[in-house]
Amino acid sequence: MQRESVLQKKCMDFCKKNAYLCYKIDSSSTAGIPDLLIISSEGRTTHVELKTSVGTLSAIQKHVIKKLKESNANVYVCRTLTEFKEAIAPAPD
């Protein structure tokens, strides 16, 4: 099983190589906020919560993700680099 920190590094490296801005969010100040904030060169903002294959969302994470989605934010829970790439990909025309 891949550790979440390994997945996070792969995701952040992908962003750097592909001209995305990628910010690691320090959740110690705001519980439940997704791990990464990604901004594409077109200005599309995506929030990504990273989890291992067996990781589960906490109650506060579920609550925050629900509130973000209710605000029409792009929010995804990703367990693999492939899922991450799909989540941040440009929306089809």
Give residue-wise pLDDT tens across range 29-79. Answer: 788 999 999 999 999 999 999 999 999 999 999 999 999 999 999 999 999
pLDDT for residue 21 is more than 90: yes
Q: Is residue 92 part of a domain?
A: no
**For residue 32, what are the domain limits?**
4-87
Strand order in the sheet with 45-50: 21-24, 36-39, 45-50, 74-78
Q: How many domains does the chain have?
A: 1
Say what the pLDDT of residue 93 is: 63
Cα gap 64→66, rounded to integer Å: 5
Tell how far CA 19 is from the center of its chain: 16
Say what the pLDDT of residue 35 is: 95
pTM: 0.91
Q: Is residue 19 part of a domain?
A: yes
Any idea what the CATH number is for the domain that residue 25 is in? 3.40.1350.10
Q: Is residue 93 part of a domain?
A: no
Tell how far CA 72 is from the center of its chain: 15
Q: For residue 17, give Cα distances in angstroms to 3, 11, 31, 93.
A: 22, 10, 29, 24
Reported as a pLDDT band with limits 50, 70 and 90, residue 8 is: very high
Q: Is residue 63 part of a domain?
A: yes
Cα gap 66→52, rounded to integer Å: 20
